[in-house]
A = this chain, B = another copy of it.
Amino acid sequence: MSEHVRQTEPFRWEGIAVKPYKAEGAHFAGITRQTLFEGGDGLACQLRYFEVAPRGWSSLERHQHAHAVMIVRGASRVLVGDRIVEARTHDLVRVPPRTWHQFQTAGDEPLGFLCMVDCERDVPERPDAAALALLRTDPAIAAFIRI
C-alpha cells in the first residue's frame, strides 16, 4: 500500500476493497470486511475494519488468537465469554484467547469497529451442540446469540 491512504467517504478508503466478512456461510449477517493494514514488512499484526448493518451480527466463535477491538462507528452489544457488554463509539473491547464472542449492531446506525489480530493465527471454531447448550444455560446469553 501507499504511505498515505485517504478516506474517500465515511469508513471507505481509496484502493481498499469492501469484502465479504467470510468466504461462505450463513452464521453471520449484514457484515463486511476491509483490511486497512495487511501486516508483514515490520508488522506482526493486521488491522481490519468491520462494518455491521443494523440488526446484523458477526459469527459466534472462539480461537486461540486474541482480538483487540475499538468501536469507531455506532454502537454494539458484544458477547465476550459470559458477559454481554454495551459498547459505544471509541470504547475498547478485548477478546481473550479461547473466549466465545459475537458482535451485534445496537441501534439504527451501522456498527463499525477496528480489529487488530496477529497475522499468523488459528482458524476460528464455532460452537457444537454441547458448547451451545452450555452457553444457553445463561438466559441472557440464550436470548442474545445468533447462529
Contacts and interface: CB of A to CB of B under 8 A. Distances in A.
Given A44-B44, A68-B43, A81 B116 contact: no
Interface in A4-31: 4-7, 10-11, 13
Tier of interface size on chain A? 35 or more
B42 A87 contact: no
A84 to B, nearest CB: 10
A13 B81 CA distance: 22
Interface in A75-106: 78, 80-81, 83, 85, 87-97
Contacts of A6: 88, 91
Nearest to A70: B36
